[in-house]
Amino acid sequence: MKIAIVGTGYVGLVSGACFAEVGIDVTCVDIDKRKIDNLINGTIPIYEPGLDDLVSRNVKEGRLHFTTDLKECLDEVEVVFSAVGTPPDEDGSADLKYVLDVARTFGRNINKYTILVTKSTVPVGTSAKIKAEINRELAERGMSVPFEVASNPEFLKEGAAIKDFMSPDRVVIGIESDRARKVMERLYRPFLLNNFRVIFMDIASAEMTKYAANSMLATRISFMNDIANLCELVGADVNMVRKGIGTDVRIGNKFLYAGCGYGGSCFPKDVKALIHTGKEHGYKMRIIEAVEEVNELQKSIVFRKLKDALGDLKGRRIGMWGLAFKPETDDMREAPALVVIEKLLEAGATVVAYDPVAVPEARRRLGDRIEYALDMYDTAVDADAIALMTEWKQFRVPSWNVLHKVMRGNIIVDGRNIYDPAELAEEGFEYHCIGK
Ligand code: UDX
């Protein structure tokens, strides 16, 4: 079976490499020539554990190809996945420019039955627009080539993307015919060994499922952050509350960690887009609006705690542990660290940061507005306080002795609740965390 995947970002590249790994012939397409040249030479544009090996092995074995030109491979493939970006417009709606560009190229060049499957997260109703765009192109060519559109939203998590793709909880596919269903079933058959479920549904429901899933997860986080803030006021401990409620099987124990807010390329964007879709249909998404509001406030909580602990921040030196929006990625999109850094700089503090992989990304975004340390202890030299923003494993058991020796102050603000308050008190640190 031969397929093409347009867009070599997280979703496109991971999907391409994983489909190739199970024996499907995959051509990955991107308009960015430099990206494609780099991929051909084995340079992966993103940090994702295991992806380098997967890509190079499948390229070597001849199942994974890269090109800048979708039309080159269209006569050969049965399915084209569209995994191009949908950056948010200023009003929070998804910009469909790239998605519709793919539809036009598809319509302009197909010569036989082909399915265009949207993997990008697009608002409900987009597949109808894609279909109209393809039909328009075909009409211009004066041709009637059979084609179909389908929706196959992606649920992979950065940092665990390959595992998520190879053994997903479920695959959701929106289709309009039995013919498309059969093709999609065959495509995902190699993964059935792992005993997961393919859920077929109509296209609008598949599109909606993605937003509902991410908004539900974001809701759990904002809910717990709200509870955490109240815990602090009433003298409760959010970690105990989490355990207390997470053992109820109806609630479940995942995604209940209070912290310094969610970031990344998905939750913030999808929450905004769902609010916008509601508005477009004259419906106010009250819960999701509150989820966003709580998260906006939570992203500066580490700053507020530093300010409460240190008073005037002018001239203070703050060591920052972690910059990425979560561990195992160099992604800083919507990262809480960015909000805290801006506020600290505005207040006249100096920020010295370290992240195991995100420093190049931080340099690109922030240049020399902050200092970059060589390792976690280097950030602490002469620091008045340490702010932990990302819970990388290597930050979990620091040498408190070394910190005492090199730091000027003794304040630790833990934005991810990874340390034990009793241990820190014993070690002589002033410890602030979230929700207790
Ligand atoms: C998410 C979804 O999990 C995935 O299914 C979807 O396809 C894309 O969006 P991702 O953005 O990679 O994936 O990150 P995820 O691991 O879900 O974490 C998102 C954010 O939530 C991070 O900033 C994380 O720190 C935060 N988070 C997560 C919490 O604050 N508390 C939690 O309990 C869990």
Most informative mutation of 266, 329, 389, 390 for ligand 1 (most atoms within 8 A of CB):
266
Instruction: Give buried/exposed letters for 102-114 (b at 16+ CB in 10 A, else e).
Output: bbebbbebbeeeb
Rounded to an integer, what distance in angstroms lies between the CA atom of residue 317 and that of residue 47? Answer: 30
Is 326 one of the annotated binding-site residues?
yes
Q: Specify the CATH number of the domain 211-297.
A: 1.10.1040.10
Rg (CA), the chain: 24
Verify whether ligand 1 is closer than 6 Å to residue 10 (CB atom).
Answer: no
Q: What is the ipTM of this complex?
A: 0.92
pLDDT of the residue at 64: 97
Helix axes of 203-234 and 238-246: crossing angle, nearest 10 degrees: 140
Phi-psi region of 414 (alpha: psi -120 to 50; beta: other; left: phi over 0): beta
Q: Where are the alpha helices (DSSP H) in 93-202?
A: 97-109, 126-141, 161-166, 178-188
The residue whose CA is least distant from atom 27 of ligand 1 is: 262
In the set 18, 28, 73, 266, the catalytic residue is 266
pLDDT of the residue at 288: 98
Q: Specify the CATH number of the domain 2-201.
A: 3.40.50.720
Distance 12 CA to ligand 1 centre (A): 19
Phi-psi region of 410 (alpha: psi -120 to 50; beta: other; left: phi over 0): alpha
CA angle 289, 294, 299 (to 5 degrees): 130
Most informative mutation of 267, 416, 418 for ligand 1 (most atoms within 8 A of CB):
267
pLDDT of the residue at 194: 59
In residues, how long is the chain? 436
Q: Specify the CATH number of the domain 299-432.
A: 3.40.50.720
User: Is it true that 2-201 and 299-432 share their CATH fold?
Assistant: yes
pLDDT of the residue at 200: 96
Verify whether ligand 1 is closer than 6 Å to residue 57 (CB atom).
Answer: no
Distance 48 CA to ligand 1 centre (A): 15
Tens of each residue's pLDDT in the chain, 436 residues? 999 999 999 999 999 999 999 999 999 999 999 999 999 988 998 889 999 999 999 999 999 999 999 999 999 999 999 999 988 777 767 789 999 999 999 999 999 999 999 999 999 999 999 999 999 999 999 999 999 999 999 999 988 999 999 988 899 999 999 999 999 999 999 887 656 689 999 999 999 999 999 999 999 999 999 999 999 999 999 999 999 999 999 999 999 999 999 999 899 999 999 999 999 999 999 999 999 999 999 999 999 999 999 999 999 999 999 999 999 999 999 999 999 999 999 999 999 999 999 999 999 999 999 999 999 999 999 999 999 999 999 999 999 999 999 999 999 999 999 999 999 999 999 999 999 9
What is the residue extent of each domain of the chain?
2-201, 211-297, 299-432
pLDDT of the residue at 47: 87
Rounded to an integer, what distance in angstroms lies between the CA atom of residue 320 and that of residue 133? Answer: 48
Is 263 one of the annotated binding-site residues?
yes
